[in-house]
Amino acid sequence: MSAPKSKAPSRTTDEFRGFTPYKEKKGEEYMNEKQVQHFRDILGAWKRELMEEVDRTMHYMQDEAANFPDPNDRATQESDFTMELRARDRERRLIRKIEESLQKLDNAEYGYCDACGVEIGIRRLEARPTATLCIDCKTLDEIRERQMGG
C-alpha cells in the first residue's frame, strides 16, 4: 500500500514558502493596500493548496479502499487511512485559521496583536501568516504554558 501521490507536499504554518517576500519602502504605512493584498494572496494560495490536498486524500481513500482478506493487509490499510485522516484534520483546523485571518484582513484587523494591539510585523506574518500575537506576547504565552505544565 503506498501513500497518496501529491503534487505539492503538505506544509505546516512554519513551512509555507510559496511567495516572494514583501519589500517594504521606508516610511510606508503598516498594512497598506499592497501589504493587505500580499497577505490575501499568500493566505488564498495556501488555502487552495490545502483544499487540493483534501481532495487528493478523498480520491486516494476511495480508490485504495479494499476489503483485504489478509488481516495484516487490512490493518496496514487502516493505519494508512488513519494517518491520512489525522493529517487532514490538522489541515482542516489550519484552513479555519486561514479563513479567520482572511476575515481579519476584510475587517482591517489583520497584522495586529490580539493581546496588546501592536503591529505583529511583516516578516513574522510571512513566517506565520495566521499569527495573532506579536513575538513578545507569544513568548510570554509560551512561558505561561510551560509553567502550567501544558
Percent of the chain, pLDDT > 90?
58
Residue 45 lies in a domain: yes
Residue 117 lies in a domain: yes
Q: Are residues 35 and 65 in the same domain?
A: yes
As a whole number of angstroms, the distance between CA 43 and CA 57 comes to 21
| Residue 24 · residue 125 · CB < 8 Å | no
The total domain count for the chain is: 2
* Residues counted in the chain: 150
pLDDT value, residue 133: 97
**Which amino acid is present at 69?**
P
Q: State whether residue 70 is helix, strand or coil.
A: coil
pLDDT value, residue 7: 39
The pTM score is 0.76
Q: Which domain holds residue 128?
A: 111-150
pLDDT value, residue 110: 98
pLDDT value, residue 4: 42
Q: Are residues 41 and 92 in the same domain?
A: yes
pLDDT value, residue 5: 42
**pLDDT digit string, tens, across residues 31-74:** 999 999 999 999 999 999 999 988 888 777 777 777 777 888 87
Question: What parts of the chain have a pLDDT lower than 70?
Answer: 1-18, 150
